[in-house]
Structure 1
Amino acid sequence: MTETIETVCFDLDDTLCTYSRGGDEVLAAAFDRAGVSQCWDIDAYYDRYRDYLEDSTDIRDLRRRCFGDLTVAAGEDRSIGEAVADAFAEVRAQESVEPLPGARRVVDQLGEEYRLGLITNGPPGMQQTKLEAIGLADRFETVVCAGYDAAAKPSAEPFDLALERLESTPDRAVYVGNSLASDVAGASAAGLRSVWIPATDSVPEQPTPAPEHTLESLEELVTPPW
């Protein structure tokens, strides 16, 4: 028998909010600002950044480590990668964080019926700033910054920690996110039901791992599928 859902947890980046410019545009601008030719793309960073979460002191340190390694792997000097990381931070600081359509409405509506949590990969200070920017800083009973409060997603650890704080259990919880590799895989590892909202139009016919529910937009959550 399926247990009744009592807890809903969300991812943050590209699930509830997004930057006004994509990471690929910001990275290209950072290489240009640093005065060097681009030698790797944003997907390389996205594929590697989780490896640096536990050992980095903050997001600036993480980017300098990761960008440095990626640049060395591309056959260039580490100092170039570090300069690009600093330029990336400068360009990003000029960007605005925007809520995705329906974010506030969905969170407010679900908050009337369910206990809410946030489980996000990223530094606490940076993620809190994003929540404040989109008007959702006080909507979640707990915020777990995976990679800092617990191991990074897709480890089950941050999900376990959030449910412990919310006094809930995996069979009574659902997780909403945009990433198969981090969100759906992590929720599955921890035993939560998953709602996948792809951030792009390129969706595989048989996503792996398979989410319990796939939605086209966050706004569809006004009518929960569980």
Structure 2
Amino acid sequence: MAERESGAAEIDTVCFDLDDTLCRYSQRGGDVLEQAFQKAGISPLWTVEDYYGRYRDYLETSTDADDLRRRCFADLAVDAGHDRKAGHAVAETFSEVRDQEAVELLPGAREVLDALAAECRLGLITNGAPGMQRTKLEATGLDDRFETVVCAGYDTAPKPAAEPFERALEDLDSSADRTVYVGNSLSSDVAGARAAGLVSVWIPAADVATEPPEPAPTYRLEALRELSTPPW
């Protein structure tokens, strides 16, 4: 990836995505959905990839994570030729099976945050309901690590809109040219950081193809622990 231009402002602020950047569920999403269908007594009508692909569409219209799934699963059920009640039933059992505290830090997360906190102000910008995301932070012991937590889709428009990034910069009394955003998603994290003018760091999952990413991040790292020695 391209180096930053000489004379660029010194980085003094780093913001992170949460899910699959700093932590992940210890329950696989596909397993939770499979159990939810079984518990509801309904044959599988959609995949977890179908759910994740439409998740962002409901962020601004739902009141919390349970309401989001209820709306999303109802539409997925209709798309599969069933009535909305089937989607509502699966959403209810999904919430019963999914343990929001069953999360684990990704390797190097705590060490990276400790290293960066010595030099930078830290923020979190995540697409997700506040109650759900704060539960994850508490379960992983990260609830006191960030000076601001922006739950995009609820506090602001969802990523990749520029608004959640701008809200975090305002809270941190920083500016885009002094801020790095770290995430795992090209479509939400890198695109959103670019929209707001931030430097972006992309850390893809291990199984992501290596062809040129689009949109292109400022930096691509292979593992979170590489941030202990910042590339900028």
Q: TM-score, normalised by structure 2?
A: 0.94
In structure 1, distance between residues paired with 2:162 and 2:209: 24
Provide Cα deviations, 1:144-183, integer angstroms capped at 9, x if missing partner.
Answer: 0001111000000000000011111111100000111100
The answer to whether the 8 Å contact 1:21/1:95 transfers is no
Partner of 2:45: 39
Equivalent in 59, 64, 70 of residue 76 of structure 2: 70
**Which residue among 106, 118, 138 is the counterpart of 1:100?**
106
Q: Does 1:122 align with 2:128?
A: yes
State how far apart, in whole Å, the 2-side matches of 1:76 and 1:197 are: 38
Segments of structure 2 that go 5 or more residues without pairing to the other structure are: 1-6
1:47-94 deviation per Cα after TM superposition (whole angstroms, max 9, x unaligned): 111111111111111100000001101111111111111111111128
- Describe the shift of the 1:43–1:197 C-alpha distance in structure 2 as closer, same or farther (beyond 3 A): same
Answer yes or no: is the 8 Å Cα contact 2:100–2:132 preserved in 1: no
Whole-Å Cα distance in 1 between the matches of residues 16 and 178 of structure 2? Answer: 15
| More off after superposition, 48-57 vs 140-149 | 48-57
- The aligned residue for residue 178 of structure 1 is 184
Confirm or deny that 1:52 pairs with 2:74: no
In the alignment, which residue of structure 1 is the partner of 2:141?
A: 135
The 5-angstrom pairing of residues 85-96 of structure 1 reads 85-93=91-99, 96=102
Counterpart in 2 of 1:164? 170
- In 2, the alpha carbon distance for the partners of 1:154 and 1:199 equals 19
TM-score, normalised on structure 1? Answer: 0.97
Runs (4 or more) in structure 1 with deviation over 2 Å come to none
Alignment match of 2:157 (pick from 112, 126, 151): 151
Partner of 1:22: 28
CA contact (8 A) 2:100 2:135 kept: no
Q: Distance in 2 between matches of 1:29 and 1:208?
A: 35
After superposition, the Cα gap between the structure-2 partners of 1:5 and 1:95, relative to the gap in structure 1 and judged at 3 Å, is closer
The gaps in structure 1 that reach 5 residues or longer are: none
Identity %: 68
Tell me which residue corresponds to 2:213: 207
* Residues in 1 aligned to 2:84 and 2:224: alpha-carbon distance in whole angstroms: 40
Partner SS state of residue 176, structure 1: strand
Q: Deviations over 1:1-38 (max 9, x none)?
A: 32111100000001011011221121111111111111
Q: How many residues align?
A: 226
Instruction: Tell me, yes or no, if the aligned pair for 1:71 and 1:80 is still in contact at 8 Å.
Output: yes
